[in-house]
Amino acid sequence: MLPYYKKTFPNGLKAIVAPLKDTKTITLLVLVKVGSRHEPQNLNGVSHFIEHMMFKGTVKRPTTLQISKELDGVGAECNAFTQKDQTGYHIKVNHEKKKLAFDVLSDMLKNSLFDPKELNRERGVIEEEINMYKDNPQSYVDSLFEELLYGKDNRLGQLISGPKAVIRKVTRSQMMRYKKKYYHPRNMLVVISGKINPQEGFRLIEKHFNWERTKDKASSFSKVKVIQNAPRAKVEYKKTEQVQLCLGFPAYSYFHKDLEALYLLNIILGGNMSSRLFINIRERQGLCYFIRSSANIYEDIGNFVIQSGLDRRRISQAIVRILEEIKKIKQTAVSSEELDKAKEYLKGRLTLEMEDSEQIAGWYGIQQLLTGKTLTLEQKLRKIQKVKIGDIQRVAKDIFQTSKINLALIGPFTAKQEFLKLLKI
């Protein structure tokens, strides 16, 4: 069992220390409970923009180069990410240099300059990132799918990057007000994982993140409820040989009792190279190069989505075949062999991930940030092991309904009607 220790400091900051014996590294991860779902429409993209600006210089380290030189000098890995419900910053380093990791990351989060010249320069960088993302249909189609599912005007349906119009106009003062609102101890979680003992870990966290307690509360958001009575489709024209498709349904939140059954259903249907979709759509029908399914989970809702790159000349045939596989798993119980294999696959994947300090930090941190709970790997595996065949079919029947189908396509098409008439199971 991988132990972990939790603590809440007087300023409201929550912290986790997860010691790992068989490693010489530590990962310091700071999670802030803010993302694109917290942004008003006129500030959509600001969470991601702020993440970028954290690397552009502090009072102590005035330039990007000074930050990177210190970390490069000890071979550290430093990165960050923005999602719809969280923003994360992490440094992975030789355990002997852990004090440097704390000093640099706490300095970036507390004392970043947001220099106006750097800020204006970064607008162009982010615009190019948006261009890169939109020029990659395989990545962009997933965002179109969630925009269709949750609604473009709903904050959960917004793009994480935001539109270029916001990136060009958002002011430094708007960004600083937004940062002050969310970057405070009660809305943050610090995780340290790797070669470190709990006492030292909490001592370093207290020293470097002993920020002033504020009256601000943890972030909140408007819960999403999908109201849908008929299939929906969204088509974006792009002259391509291969069509990018996302076909999916509203699904479960982090708190749903059938979440583990959903994970196993995903593996059986399209979660690996021996799944039904991979074998029947790719290997036997030759309709695609890649096809996969996934379960995207949020605090209040989630979705189950199938994604594939398909031959544009046989796109209708492919959609019909995919829906046939969904119908089969809904109407006929999976075999005990399939379920056992899915459980072993999930156990194997989770076990592999938990051998790295960075993965362990993310495992404990994201659970705590978004659910307020922290399951060990062993506790999670016990929940997975309890799932029965009947649970899989019950979840499939619950989620896979004709009236709840959502289809997003990027390819050489202008009309969605021809695809809407195919959407039935």
Report the CATH fold assignment for 232-420: Cytochrome Bc1 Complex; Chain A, domain 1 (3.30.830)
Cite the DSSP H helix spans in 271-406: 276-277, 315-331, 336-353, 357-371, 377-385, 389-399
The burial class, CB within 10 Å (0-12 / 13-18 / 19+), for 330 is middle
What's the pLDDT score for residue 114? Answer: 98
Angle at 152 between CA 149 and CA 153, to 5 degrees: 120
Mean pLDDT per 10-residue interval, the chain, length 425 residues: 91 96 95 97 98 97 97 97 98 98 98 97 98 94 96 92 97 97 97 97 97 84 92 96 96 97 98 97 93 97 97 95 98 98 97 92 97 94 98 98 98 95 97
What letter represents residue 102's amino acid? F
Angle at 96 between CA 90 and CA 101, to 5 degrees: 25
Pairwise CA distance, residues 44 & 135, whole Å: 20
pLDDT tens per residue across span 257-306: 999 999 999 999 999 999 999 999 999 999 999 999 999 999 999 999 99
Pairwise CA distance, residues 299 & 83, whole Å: 13
Pairwise CA distance, residues 407 & 288, whole Å: 17
What letter represents residue 74's amino acid? V
CB atoms within 10 A of CB 421: 11
What's the pLDDT score for residue 214? Answer: 82
The architecture in CATH of the region 5-208 reads: 2-Layer Sandwich (3.30)
What's the pLDDT score for residue 216? Answer: 80
Question: Considering just the CA atoms, what is the radius of gyration of the chain in Å?
Answer: 23
Residue ranges of the chain assigned to CATH 3.30.830.10: 5-208, 232-420
Phi then psi for 407, rounded to 5 degrees? -125, 125
> The tokens 């291969």 sit on which residue?
242
pTM given for the model: 0.95
Helix (H) or strand (E) holding 110: helix 98-111
What's the pLDDT score for residue 376? Answer: 93
